[in-house]
């Protein structure tokens, strides 16, 4: 049998990690499979930068097309990110009989259905462990290790930048702006951090996890998403007082075939496992009908963790190439009659911080509006009197529908005594 | 292609979970693989007990030999536990061309090398996900998801009974004896809990994890093991004061080809992920050279979590049967020149609780003995004076060799001023 030949497109940070790992492990792979895995070519527009590793003369080329059209290459590793030209290159590689490993969550979240269909037509595979949670083998977990389960819920911290910022804000009592600046200075946030802080990166990733868990392609525009730009130090402090920590959570839930998928800052219990996930770490907490609660925790980004996932995929595909069998993407449970529910239909507990005049009867007025909208209060914090001026009132609620919550807040925000927009957090029940 | 037929030996708690899961998922497996997985036979000596599930007439038989000798059966699931007859049945099944799924950690820890060699001879596989961490796919993680890594360390809470007891002791400030009684009453401890509380069950499991991580069979008698029988409430309280929690940890470490494997109650930092693992939960924290720190957390026992792991293995083996390829057990990294180091060679930080007369100069005497044995003190707690009577002195140390520590404690325990055996805990650096 001929060697299994790897072509890598994109020789940036992750590409360098993959090459380092492959160079070290080629002998191991040979023993595993009885055939050598071989690094054939690397394509990158930048042929000049010194990446600090030795590669044979002529291995680094500038034209990615040369890799997807090379008949001798078996597996194409796409590490350039973005929609194009990644999309066209992957499709061409599949058409040409190659399997693909990618870390490209944006592409898969937007074009996954089309790409996996294309892969199926050509009887080839797309592996994408590195696209969610860096080195954490969560895709393998969902597809294989937990395959015997129906997944009821996923609560995931899957963006290291935002978790780092929120951790810094909590630990050092600094503002979002200052924490973001630190994150940039220390390399935890990109120069343009919008994809991360807006929640969009988490949305891409929860689309992938939800699609596997539900056996149905979730569309990116079906995911309700909020970022962390508006997280205020005062709410972090109130959260602490109430026994919570604010985390940017990506959430998937399924109940009676109704699916909820969303990304938003959430208050989670400070004694739980998710609260213990600090800094740039990621964690994915799942509930399955047989396995119960299970959590994966690790580094969600970086050269080496991401390379760990990419190379694990190369190993899996190599195994499948040798055996001549590919594996389907979707777990495909029988109950596929599922509908995505809108954000209004979601039930949650809530944290409200009202900014209202310190005047007798205000709390009773607020409680009245909440009650009219079927929202019942579980606790109230009202401190620091400031007669006649605006003060905060913090309210925790029992579970209520999002649409009722929004109706109530609309009314409250228009009241004469209300002097600022009400701050709302969903509160996680774990 | 003919159906993939499953024979189950042992129709107890886990067996029932596996049958329930298979009955529900047969249609899914058919779609996954294009061939039906089929439950063929279940063997158990007890044919009478109502397990609360319907199985076809004649499927439950009393003779396990009938399953291992049935030519139509492809996969044998061994769920009876213990060494014999499990060992003989598994060997016969392998000789007869069947692959095996087992949850039997005691058998694999003691006879794994022989059994896997036997499986290799017959070109068949033994899968054992359920043997460590119940439903947590940690074996798959080590063998596949993290296969690109060299594993530097494993810190694992892999016995739910002992973690439950230690959690109760901490939360309710009760004695070991009372917590054990509660654990028995609530079904978290067996009538005879010795295997769990002695640390032996954790030792079995760390043998398996260490063997995969190191690529070398670790022998059970090379594992230093201590149980939780002697954990005293007073040390739980001192630990808390010092920022630690006591956990029964199974530890694997590798450095420069020297391997350390042990099980002992350990003080871990109260802010870390391991401290957050309470009740009957399990967690495995690994460090790999590429992935960095990664943690798996979930339920380590019980009908449904264990069945989740067993059925995941059935799926994996089915895939391999269909493709006609099996996978080797050991990751087999090149650096196989490894030696197991004895407990004396292990370096750790320590917690000591001395019981000594409250007399001037005692602390300086103790510090002198420690210093003579190359142990330096990082902090001391000495409170509650009781002139002329025995009082506790608590000392935390920097890293030192276990043999030096033992020499020092031997001397101190023989001093006139010492009125009780010194209590020692290793302190984990995470």
The answer to whether B286 touches B295, Cβ cutoff 8 Å, is: yes
Could you give the ipTM of this predicted complex? 0.94
- The answer on pLDDT for B388 being more than 80 is no
Asked if the Cβ–Cβ distance from A324 to B323 is below 8 Å, we say: yes
pLDDT band at B323; cut points 50, 70, 90? confident
Q: Which candidate, B210, B136, B164, B306, places its Cα nearest to that of A297?
A: B136
For the stretch B357-376, pLDDT in tens is 998 899 999 999 999 999 99
Spatial neighbors of A19 by CB under 8 A, at least 6 apart, are A8, A11, A39, A42, A51, A53, A55
Express as a percent the part of chain B with pLDDT over 70. Answer: 95
Q: Residue B305 is nearest to which of A25, A291, A331, comparing CB atoms?
A: A291
Domain B346-427 matching CATH 3.30.1330.10: the answer reads: no
Residue to substitute from A294, A313, A315, A329, interface B, most B β-carbons within 10 A: A294
pTM listed for this prediction: 0.95
Beta pairing partners, A37: A4
Residue B331 CA, chain-centre distance (Å), reads 20
Residue in chain A closest to B136 (alpha carbons) equals A294
Asked if the Cβ–Cβ distance from A307 to B295 is below 8 Å, we say: no
- The answer on pLDDT for A333 being more than 70 is no
Give the gap in angstroms from C-alpha B422 to the nearest C-alpha of chain A. Answer: 33
Express as a percent the part of chain B with pLDDT over 90. Answer: 80
Residues of A with CB below 8 A from B137's CB? 140-141, 144-146
Give the gap in angstroms from C-alpha B421 to the nearest C-alpha of chain A. Answer: 35
Residues of A with CB below 8 A from B334's CB? 27-28
Tokens at residue A150, please? 């129906």
Confidence at residue A336, expressed as pLDDT on a 0 to 100 scale: 58
Q: Residue B294 is nearest to which of A272, A297, A302, comparing CB atoms?
A: A297
Average pLDDT score over residue span B132-142: 96
Confidence at residue A331, expressed as pLDDT on a 0 to 100 scale: 45
Domain A4-135+303-323 matching CATH 3.40.50.720: the answer reads: yes
Q: What are phi and psi of A119, to 5 degrees?
A: -60, -45
Q: What span, in angstroms and rounded, lies between the C-alpha atoms of B24 and B16?
A: 13
Q: Residue A325 is nearest to which of B272, B323, B332, comparing CB atoms?
A: B323
Average pLDDT score over residue span A413-423: 96
Confidence at residue B360, expressed as pLDDT on a 0 to 100 scale: 87
Express as a percent the part of chain A with pLDDT over 70. Answer: 95
Asked if the Cβ–Cβ distance from A147 to B312 is below 8 Å, we say: yes
Give the gap in angstroms from C-alpha A429 to the nearest C-alpha of chain B. Answer: 17
Helix axes B105-121, B86-95, angle to 10 degrees: 20
Peptide bond into B257 cis (omega under 30): no
For the stretch B19-49, pLDDT in tens is 999 998 887 777 666 668 899 999 999 999 9
Q: Which SS3 state, helix, strand or coil, does residue B378 take?
A: strand
Confidence at residue B9, expressed as pLDDT on a 0 to 100 scale: 98
pLDDT band at A36; cut points 50, 70, 90? confident
Tokens at residue A84, please? 């194009």
Helix axes A402-413, A362-372, angle to 10 degrees: 150
Q: What span, in angstroms and rounded, lies between the C-alpha atoms of B288 and B294?
A: 8
Instruction: Pick the catalytic residue from A98, A105, A170, A205.
Output: A205
In terms of Cβ atoms closer than 10 Å to its own Cβ (0-12, 13-18, 19+), residue B188 is buried
For the stretch B182-213, pLDDT in tens is 999 999 998 899 999 999 999 999 999 999 99
Q: How large is the greatest C-alpha to C-alpha distance in chain B, in angstroms?
A: 84
Tokens at residue A65, please? 């097309």
Residue B2 CA, chain-centre distance (Å), reads 38
Q: What span, in angstroms and rounded, lies between the C-alpha atoms of B59 and B40?
A: 7
Q: Residue B21 is nearest to which of A32, A290, A332, comparing CB atoms?
A: A290
Q: Which SS3 state, helix, strand or coil, does residue A199 take?
A: coil
We find that the CATH architecture of domain A345-427 is: 2-Layer Sandwich (3.30)
The answer to whether B327 touches B385, Cβ cutoff 8 Å, is: no
Fold of B138-299: Dihydrodipicolinate Reductase; domain 2 (3.30.360)
- The answer on pLDDT for B333 being more than 60 is no
Average pLDDT score over residue span B104-122: 93
Residue to substitute from B145, B296, B311, B329, interface A, most A β-carbons within 10 A: B145
For the stretch B44-77, pLDDT in tens is 999 999 999 999 999 999 999 999 999 999 999 9
Confidence at residue B385, expressed as pLDDT on a 0 to 100 scale: 76
Q: What span, in angstroms and rounded, lies between the C-alpha atoms of B425 and B266?
A: 6
The answer to whether B74 touches B98, Cβ cutoff 8 Å, is: yes
Beta pairing partners, B24: none
Long-range Cβ pairs for the range B107-113 (8 Å, 24+)? B107/B81, B107/B82, B107/B83, B108/B204, B108/B207, B108/B208, B109/B203, B109/B204, B109/B205, B109/B207, B109/B208, B109/B220, B110/B83, B110/B204, B110/B220, B111/B83, B111/B87, B112/B207, B112/B208, B112/B211, B112/B217, B113/B217
- The answer on pLDDT for A66 being more than 70 is yes
Who has greater pLDDT, B345 or B35? B345
Confidence at residue A256, expressed as pLDDT on a 0 to 100 scale: 85
Average pLDDT score over residue span A350-364: 94
Asked if the Cβ–Cβ distance from B290 to A298 is below 8 Å, we say: no
What is the dihedral sign for C-alpha B405, B409, B410, B411? positive
Residues of B with CB below 8 A from A21's CB? 148, 290
The answer to whether A90 touches A83, Cβ cutoff 8 Å, is: no
For the stretch A395-413, pLDDT in tens is 999 999 999 999 999 999 9
- The answer on pLDDT for B331 being more than 50 is no
Give the gap in angstroms from C-alpha A51 to the nearest C-alpha of chain B. Answer: 17
Give the gap in angstroms from C-alpha A123 to the nearest C-alpha of chain B. Answer: 14
What is the dihedral sign for C-alpha A87, A135, A249, A247? negative
The answer to whether B17 touches B304, Cβ cutoff 8 Å, is: yes
Asked if the Cβ–Cβ distance from B305 to A289 is below 8 Å, we say: no
Average pLDDT over all residues of chain B: 92
Please state the domain extents for chain B.
Answer: 4-135+303-323, 138-299, 346-427
How many Cβ pairs closer than 8 A exist between chain A and B? 182
Confidence at residue B336, expressed as pLDDT on a 0 to 100 scale: 58
Residue with tokens 């690094």: A39
Host H or E run for residue B266? strand B258-269
Q: Which candidate, B249, B312, B311, B258, places its Cα nearest to that of B284?
A: B249
CA distances from B210 to B313, B327, B330, B429 (A): 20, 19, 11, 20
Who has greater pLDDT, A150 or B430? A150
Asked if the Cβ–Cβ distance from B312 to A135 is below 8 Å, we say: no
For the stretch A263-307, pLDDT in tens is 999 999 998 999 999 999 999 999 999 999 999 999 999 999 999
Tokens at residue A198, please? 């807006």
The answer to whether B325 touches A33, Cβ cutoff 8 Å, is: no
DSSP of B274-343: GGG--TTEEEEEEEETTTEEEEEEEE-SSHHHHHHHHHHHHHHHHHHHHHT----SS---S----EEPPG
Instruction: Pick the catalytic residue from B111, B205, B216, B253.
Output: B205
Spatial neighbors of B360 by CB under 8 A, at least 6 apart, are none
- The answer on pLDDT for B259 being more than 80 is yes
A205 in catalytic set: yes
Residues of B with CB below 8 A from A298's CB? 291-295
For the stretch B264-278, pLDDT in tens is 999 999 989 999 999
Q: Residue A145 is nearest to which of B137, B275, B290, comparing CB atoms?
A: B137
Q: Residue B144 is nearest to which of A140, A277, A304, comparing CB atoms?
A: A140
Residue B23: count of CB within 10 angstroms of its CB:
12
Q: What span, in angstroms and rounded, lies between the C-alpha atoms of B113 and B322?
A: 26
Give the gap in angstroms from C-alpha A189 to the nearest C-alpha of chain B. Answer: 20
Express as a percent the part of chain A with pLDDT over 90. Answer: 80
What is the dihedral sign for C-alpha A167, A171, A176, A180? negative
Confidence at residue A32, expressed as pLDDT on a 0 to 100 scale: 62
């Amino acid at each position: 049998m001929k060697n299994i030949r790897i072509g890598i497109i994109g020789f940036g940070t992750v590409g360098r990690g993959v090459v380092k790992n492959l160079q070290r492990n080629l002998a191991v792979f040979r023993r595993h499979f009885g055939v050598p895995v071989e690094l054939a070519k690397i394509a990158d527009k930048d042929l000049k930068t010194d990446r600090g590793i030795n590669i044979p003369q002529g291995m680094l080329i500038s034209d990615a097309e040369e890799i997807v059209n090379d008949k001798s290459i078996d597996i194409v590793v796409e590490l350039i990110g973005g929609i194009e030209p990644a999309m066209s290159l992957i499709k061409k590689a599949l058409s040409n009989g190659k399997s693909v490993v990618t870390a490209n969550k944006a592409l898969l979240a937007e074009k996954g259905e089309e790409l996996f269909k294309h892969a199926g037509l050509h009887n080839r595979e797309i592996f994408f462990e590195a696209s969610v949670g860096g080195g954490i083998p969560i895709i393998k977990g969902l597809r294989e290790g937990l395959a015997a389960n129906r997944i009821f819920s996923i609560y995931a911290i899957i963006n290291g930048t935002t978790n780092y910022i929120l951790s810094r804000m909590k630990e050092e009592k600094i503002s979002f702006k200052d924490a973001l600046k630190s994150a940039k200075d220390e390399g935890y946030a990109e120069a343009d951090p919008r994809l991360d802080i807006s929640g969009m990166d988490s949305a891409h990733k929860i689309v992938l996890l939800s699609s596997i868990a539900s056996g149905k392609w979730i569309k990116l525009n079906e995911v309700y998403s909020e970022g962390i730009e508006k997280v205020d130090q005062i709410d972090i402090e109130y959260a602490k007082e109430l026994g919570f920590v604010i985390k940017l959570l990506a959430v998937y839930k399924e109940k009676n075939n109704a699916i909820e998928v969303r990304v938003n800052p959430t208050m989670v219990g400070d004694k739980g496992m998710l609260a213990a996930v600090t800094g740039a770490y990621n964690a994915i907490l799942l509930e399955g009908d047989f396995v119960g609660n299970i959590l994966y925790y690790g580094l969600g980004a970086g050269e080496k963790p991401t390379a760990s996932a990419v190379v694990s995929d190369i190993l899996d595909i190599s195994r499948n190439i040798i055996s001549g069998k590919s594996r389907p993407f979707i777990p495909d449970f029988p109950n596929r009659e599922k509908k995505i529910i809108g954000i209004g239909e979601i039930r949650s507990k809530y944290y409200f911080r009202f900014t209202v005049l310190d005047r007798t009867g205000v709390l009773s007025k607020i409680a009245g509006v909440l009650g009219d909208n079927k929202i019942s209060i579980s606790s109230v914090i009202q401190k620091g009197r400031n007669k006649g001026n605006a003060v905060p009132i913090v309210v925790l609620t029992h579970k209520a529908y999002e649409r009722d919550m929004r109706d109530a807040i609309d009314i409250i925000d228009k009241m004469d005594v209300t002097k600022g927009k009400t701050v709302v957090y969903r509160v996680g029940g774990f």
